[in-house]
Amino acid sequence: MPRKFLDSVSANYQGHRVTWRERISHFTWSWFECTMSTGAMATLLSQQPYSFHGLKTIGKVVFILDLVLFATFTALITLRFCLNRGALTKSLHHGNESFFFGTFWVSLALIIYSIQAYGVPSCGHWLVTTLEVLFWLYAACVMLVSIFQYHVIFDLEQLPVHEMMPAWILPVYPFLILGPLAGTLLYSQPRPSAALPILIGGIAFQGLGWCFAFMQYTLYITRLTSGLLPDEPKRPGMFVAVGPAAYTSQALINLGSQAQVILPSDFLGITTIPVGDIWKAVGVAGGCFLWLVGFWFFAISLVGFVHGYKYAHFTLNWWALIFPNAGLTIALIHIGNVLSSNAIKAVCSAMTILLCVVWLWVAALNIKAVWRGQILWPHKDEDMEDIEGHEQ
């Protein structure tokens, strides 16, 4: 980026002036909530129960937009770290921003998800093999990230429980996407050579994500029952709590359904009953069980958001209005498919339309907030407590 542009001055709606160099120095990990939401919309559009001519093209356009945004945000946050010595380490140790590092990895998972949905039907077997490798490589990376990031949080940070937000789950959020990702990849993986390990891995990874999120739920409910709702601008972040139940519901149903055709007839040495059928039955029951949990968190979050809307202003947390609820919609699509319910499928189509409208609305608010200096500005973003820690 030319030095002349970096040194040029930008003014906010109050007339305060800072350089673009300083604004980019506050480009935080939470910007990847935008790519999470855009990637989630691309995956949602690829699985609609009712389609029409051009829907696949719309989905591909959203996927390409997601790739462009992800590449742009990666370049900008890299520029931030280059301009500010030690900023990368500070961002991963920050009591607020560090949690949003997980959004970068979730965005990557959704890109792999979309490659399967939009790329595999048009490419050869080489892409199927590449996706298999990417799945295991990604799983190894996020395992290391979750271990070391939570080590830093547990060892160096002192976070009061009364300030708990669902964003505390984000470092382990990639595991909540690995189950649905595995279920999607299974449609094209060779069976059972590559498909069976991915099936088992998907269940194991999803189990880690769900169990950790469930423990975090207890802290979150403890805060809410103490009458400590988040501040109004942060209330859209409450929707993050929808994701663990929603994506686990999706994973259980999809992986259970895939087990019917992937598990060998003598799997685990059991030959008296069809093990795949049992897995499907348990998966569907578990998926329905958890879907309503996700919907309850959605309802609680919606009431809190609407109640405090007139006192709120835009923050990047508003993107949480989309990506968890996209997971809730996809899970309901799978429920509608396995139950062969046209009514449920129609509800899913309506939910998808609403999410598309909300995505456009949040995107407009985001652009407006950048233009007016309400975000990407000193003392405005998730790194605000650490501003003075950056070396200029």
pLDDT (tens digit, 9 = 90+) per residue, 187-240?
A: 999 888 899 999 999 999 999 999 999 999 998 998 888 878 888 888 999 999
**Can you tell me the mean pLDDT for 303-308?**
93
- Residue 100 and residue 117: Cα distance in Å, rounded? 26
- Of the candidates 267, 134, 283, the one whose C-alpha atom is nearest the C-alpha of residue 203 is 283
pTM: 0.92
- Structural domains of the chain in order of their starting residue, each with its CATH number: 13-389 (1.50.10.150)
CB atoms within 10 A of CB 313: 12
Tokens of 253: 């149903």
- Residue 40 and residue 35: Cα distance in Å, rounded? 8
Number of H helices, E strands in the chain: 13, 2
Identify the pLDDT of residue 30: 93
Identify the pLDDT of residue 325: 97
- Residue 40 and residue 36: Cα distance in Å, rounded? 6
pLDDT above 90: residue 92: no
Tokens of 6: 């970096």
Q: List phi, psi (to 5°) of 202.
A: -60, -40
280 alpha carbon, distance to own chain's centre: 26
Q: What are the pLDDT digits (tens) for 228-273? A: 888 888 899 999 999 999 999 999 999 999 998 899 888 888 888 8
Look over the chain and give the mean of its residue pLDDT values, rounded to a whole number: 89
pLDDT above 80: residue 14: no
pLDDT band of residue 385 (cuts 50, 70, 90) is low
Identify the pLDDT of residue 20: 77
Identify the pLDDT of residue 375: 86
**Can you tell me the mean pLDDT for 125-137?**
95
Q: What are the pLDDT digits (tens) for 145-162? A: 999 888 887 776 777 777
Identify the pLDDT of residue 135: 97
pLDDT band of residue 386 (cuts 50, 70, 90) is very low
Token pair 């509800």 in the structure block, residue = 347
CA angle 330, 333, 334 (to 5 degrees): 95
- Residue 355 and residue 332: Cα distance in Å, rounded? 14
Identify the pLDDT of residue 131: 96
Identify the pLDDT of residue 173: 94
